[in-house]
Structure 1
Amino acid sequence: MLTLADCGELELIARLRPYCHQELIGDDAAVLSLPLGEQLIVSTDVLVEGVHFSLGMTDTPVTMTPQDVGWRSLAANLSDLAAMGALPLGLTVGLAAPRNCPVAIIEGIYQGMATCAQAYGTSIIGGDTCRSSVLSLSITVLGSAPPERIIYRNRAQVGDVIVVTGVHGASRAGLECLLYPQGASTVPAELRQAWIQAHQRPRPRLDIVHWLRQQVPPPRLAGMDSSDGLAAAVLQICQASGVGAVLWAERIPIVDYGDRLQALNWALYGGEDFELVLCLSPELAQALCGAAGERAAMVGEIIPEKRVQLRLNGELLPVQVDRLFQHF
């Protein structure tokens, strides 16, 4: 099996070149033009083997292929652009890997990234490589948006409706299926595969950005993505905007199988769904849900009291802050 030590840096770069934009690589830096009247939006994510993904190179169980890692890593970054109302221009990839890492793994990761990039109309335009004891990626995506259409977290207002896209908790359900296949054997195969797909191949919601750009005049809204869970997203929007929120448990789109309370907890705290959480006027919320159909739902409202609560079975319960995801 060919390793990075066998291959060397120059041959590795030559092997990765086909996955990149052929006209924008080869010099010391890439040259880009911004669309007229738009601002640059930049987002960076660091992803580490054994923390964000598992290929079996550490002591964690394998949960995806190298191609899945590539797709998912880029999808996470593109989701950040979508959360800001931006569309992608290109991306750079910083790769750090052990000398004994198989070249096939690296090529698979880049293949997954290139496939995801092509699906969303963008490409790899540069990057860097170095030796490390642990496989990791640092992906920077560049996007743009007209200044009046950039989405910030601090624009939520009392009376706004909270809209989410997609099913929340599906990624966590997929991870559970991968980690505990025997326990998941009772789940219908089609449903199980849909959850695993949600975990391994999330779909950044750039389609919603395209819809929002069609709205005239540009609407006032707040938002972010749900990469750290629905509860964390709502809490951060409320903190930035100086408001509070009530989430309606019965309206949250959750995985439709088994223990509904567990599914609700996965939706609130599971994370990695890479869907959008938006705070909109009631009129715009209805229009968005009408256009998106089952791909969007109204799940709560913004209130003046600075707290985030969940309405469940007629009771108002506080969001469990200690369950929100944090790296440290």
Structure 2
Amino acid sequence: MFSDLPDFFPQPKSSSSPTPISAIGEAGLLQIVQRYCPAQVVGDDGAVLPAPEGQLVVSTDVLVEGVHFSDVTTPAHAVGWRAVAANLSDLAAMGSRPRALVVGLGLPGSTPVAWVEELYEGMRACCARWGAELVGGDLCRSPQRFVAITALGSVQPGRAIERRRAQPGDWLVVTGPHGDARAGLELLLHPEQGSSATAAQRQQLIRAHQYPRPRLDVLSLLEALPGPLRLAGMDTSDGLADALVQVCQSSGVAARIAAERIPISVALRQAFPAQALEWALYGGEDFELLLSAEVSVAKHLLEKLPGAAWIGEVTGWDPQGTVRLQDGQILSRQQAFQHF
């Protein structure tokens, strides 16, 4: 999964200046952040972009200090990466290729200039990895740090992935392992935990939390399939169980899940064997995709996509959207992360 680590986790490049942004003012801060945008589109009241082919896809995501990140768990470079990755994951979940992103940034005046530079280095690195561009945004003073990104993408008509399109007989496929990000968070908060894992395994789990990988690589496999494509799905950033229930409720179907088929990494099983399945279902922040597809499409994905796994099937129509494990346990969104 992490064979491309040297490129996937580029080293930060910014200075270590402790200067606060209040010392350089708004104009000085704008000069810094505009360096991370194409010169030909930044500097006006809006960015002028070529109209995309197909249908426009828009998604937005907000990361707030103390809710989504902290200095204990997430350095600024990783905050930038995760902020972009969250939006790119939403685009991937729609079957959409990314085009551009705009950033709304709130900061206390005491924030070091170096923190902002690291943040934008992380955002630029994630954009470069998947062919997106930062094209502008806005800044404001705030009592706590937050990053709000809106992403623009495009998808061809008839090719969008929607939660409401699952049907009885579909196979349920996930694109990779679940639970690693939750385990990485646990290690960052409680380094004494997970002592049975090797140093490399611990680092794998921490990187899964700090540098999630949006699954845009799946799109080329889907684009190779001919004709209109009926796919239901969403990303699993709020937990696999949450995604399963949301897809089934949106589609009005029931599903049966084989818990033993949910992919769980060796690192997670080694570090936290007792929590592995619970975190795979409810941990969140994994940024994998859950897809509900007819059998032939599902088999194509399983054959071509390393790490993908069949985890169950849609069993029938059900307005309640009930999702059961094979032992009869009903999955619930209430155990997943909730903002309110």
Q: Does the pair score TM above 0.5?
A: yes
1: CA distance between counterparts of 2:115 and 2:203?
Answer: 23
What residue is the counterpart of 1:59 in the other structure?
none
SS at match of 2:136: strand
User: Do the aligned residues in 1 keep the contact of 2:174 with 2:310 (CA within 8 Å)?
Assistant: yes
1:296 shift after superposition: 0.6
1: CA distance between counterparts of 2:195 and 2:20?
Answer: 36
1:265 shift after superposition: 0.4
1:223 shift after superposition: 0.5
1: CA distance between counterparts of 2:273 and 2:197?
Answer: 14
Amino acid at match of 1:307: T
User: Do the aligned residues in 1 keep the contact of 2:245 with 2:332 (CA within 8 Å)?
Assistant: no
Normalization by structure 1: what TM-score?
A: 0.94
2: CA distance between counterparts of 1:21 and 1:65?
Answer: 25
248-257 vs 73-82, greater mean Cα deviation:
248-257
Counterparts of 1:252-267 in structure 2, within 5 Å, are 252-256=262-266, 257-258=269-270, 259-267=272-280
What residue is the counterpart of 1:195 in the other structure?
205
What residue is the counterpart of 1:287 in the other structure?
300
Amino acid at match of 1:217: G
**Counterpart among 33, 36, 59 of residue 50 in structure 2:** 33
2: CA distance between counterparts of 1:101 and 1:35?
Answer: 37
Structure 2 residue 22 is the aligned partner of structure 1 residue 5:
yes
**Counterpart among 316, 324, 331 of residue 309 in structure 1:** 324
What residue is the counterpart of 1:205 in the other structure?
215
Unaligned runs of 5+ in 2: 1-17
State the number of aligned residues: 317
Q: Which runs of 4+ in 1 moved over 4 A?
A: none
**Counterpart among 269, 272, 285 of residue 285 in structure 2:** 272
Structure 2 residue 68 is the aligned partner of structure 1 residue 48:
no
1: CA distance between counterparts of 2:278 and 2:265?
Answer: 11
Counterparts in 2 of 1:309 and 1:261: CA distance versus 1, 3 Å: farther
Structure 2 residue 255 is the aligned partner of structure 1 residue 245:
yes
Amino acid at match of 1:142: L
What do the CA deviations read for 1:154-173 (whole angstroms, capped 9, x no partner)?
00000100000111001001
User: Do the aligned residues in 1 keep the contact of 2:104 with 2:137 (CA within 8 Å)?
Assistant: yes
User: Do the aligned residues in 2 keep the contact of 1:34 with 1:144 (CA within 8 Å)?
Assistant: no
User: Do the aligned residues in 2 keep the contact of 1:167 with 1:255 (CA within 8 Å)?
Assistant: yes
2: CA distance between counterparts of 1:184 and 1:5?
Answer: 41
SS at match of 2:63: strand
Amino acid at match of 2:180: A
2: CA distance between counterparts of 1:261 and 1:100?
Answer: 42
1: CA distance between counterparts of 2:160 and 2:192?
Answer: 45
SS at match of 1:2: coil
What residue is the counterpart of 2:11 in the other structure?
none
114-123 vs 15-24, greater mean Cα deviation:
15-24
1: CA distance between counterparts of 2:32 and 2:216?
Answer: 30
Structure 2 residue 300 is the aligned partner of structure 1 residue 300:
no
User: Do the aligned residues in 1 keep the contact of 2:232 with 2:291 (CA within 8 Å)?
Assistant: yes
1:175 shift after superposition: 0.7
What do the CA deviations read for 1:67-96 (whole angstroms, capped 9, x no partner)?
011001100110000000001110000001
300-309 vs 144-153, greater mean Cα deviation:
300-309
What residue is the counterpart of 1:124 in the other structure?
134
Structure 2 residue 152 is the aligned partner of structure 1 residue 136:
no
Q: Percent identity?
A: 51
Unaligned runs of 5+ in 1: 56-61
What residue is the counterpart of 2:338 in the other structure?
326
SS at match of 1:206: coil
2: CA distance between counterparts of 1:105 and 1:81?
Answer: 27
What do the CA deviations read for 1:230-270 (whole angstroms, capped 9, x no partner)?
00001000010000111110100013224545111001000
What do the CA deviations read for 1:136-183 (whole angstroms, capped 9, x no partner)?
011000001112111110000001000001110010011111111112
Structure 2 residue 104 is the aligned partner of structure 1 residue 94:
yes
317-326 vs 190-199, greater mean Cα deviation:
317-326
What residue is the counterpart of 1:104 in the other structure?
114
Structure 2 residue 29 is the aligned partner of structure 1 residue 17:
no
217-226 vs 155-164, greater mean Cα deviation:
217-226
User: Do the aligned residues in 1 keep the contact of 2:34 with 2:136 (CA within 8 Å)?
Assistant: no
Amino acid at match of 1:40: L
1:22 shift after superposition: 2.1
